[in-house]
Amino acid sequence: MLYRARGCLSRHAEQRIRSHFQSELNKLKGPPVEVVNGVDYSSPSINFVFINKSLPFGEVSITDSDTIVGCGGKNGCRPHMGQNIGCEYSRRCHCLEFAAIDEARMTIEDWKEYDKTNFMGLPKRFPYYNPTVPGGNGGCLVPFYLNSRHAIYECNLRCECGPDCKTRVVQKERQIPLEIFKTTNRGWGLRSPVNIQKGQFIDTYRGEIITNEEATRREASAGHGKQSYLYSLDKHADSVGLEECYVIDGEYKGGPTRFINHSCEPNCRQFTVSYNKYDNKIYELAFFACENIPAGTELTFNYRDTDIDEEESGSMEQGEDEEYVECRCGSENCSGKLWV
């Protein structure tokens, strides 16, 4: 009798925790995010705050919006261009100054300018499919970017191309519903109750933006073996300096993507998306589907995915100073190990 009473009290407490967790999820912008558990009565920890954008912490400084440069001006981008989707000419768009160059459209004169590291006026690649083109994949990441590690640049609040510009996707935030669900062997995971197209934007990784020094302090304080939610904003480390790069910590504050699990054969990839081409320290970490994902399928990405290809780095085997835990992704080509 006492055992059953304790069980009822515990179950009632779990229901209250789940209700509180769901109420916090309801505060997020965009389509609904639900918590689902068909395994047991547990709920994710309530020691977590959902936020709609990353928050600077401590000594981290955010670029003043007045210093952001947009596209437009004389002969620049306009809302009516490209069938009313803005930014029709990549050579003129100031936001795409440092975007990937479209080498197939380069002329001899273009190559001369490129050698001088003068990127404005060169043909660039737009990141997303044109929404007016038949096919139904408007707004999805084009294969060139999806299959590469090039930084993605979007237009911003100071642009004159208009809110419907085809170069604005991530900044419009999440457009699909999500579910945080209990897996059978890997804790909590993330999925969507709707089909997701290849190249479709899912959501960003959010958290506290901290200095590299603060990240080191937090890791030391957490202790050995504790799961880390730190992601270094080191895409432009060559120009910023690795020690000066900021880090996003999504352990206690963040978004639903904090619950995405690892897979050796993932269906999502993480990309850097910037709204300010001159800010090499703060940008978005955005998840896109790298294949068509049926509704109800768990969303995963490779925790070891970097800008360096396996061929260039030599191997993805364990390093001398690295430790690992058993990988439970269940993919056909699972390595069996997940480095920590």
**Residues carrying an active site annotation:** 205, 303
DSSP conformation class of 128 = B
DSSP conformation class of 167 = T
Q: Give the integer Cα–Cα distance in Å for 76 and 79.
A: 10
Q: Give the integer Cα–Cα distance in Å for 273 and 279.
A: 11
Q: Are 25 and 35 in contact (CB under 8 A)?
A: yes
Q: Are 36 and 191 in contact (CB under 8 A)?
A: no
Q: What is the DSSP string of 60-113?
A: --PPPGGG---S-STT---TTHHHHTS---TTT-GGGTTSPB-GGG--HHHHHH
Q: Give the integer Cα–Cα distance in Å for 91 and 121.
A: 4
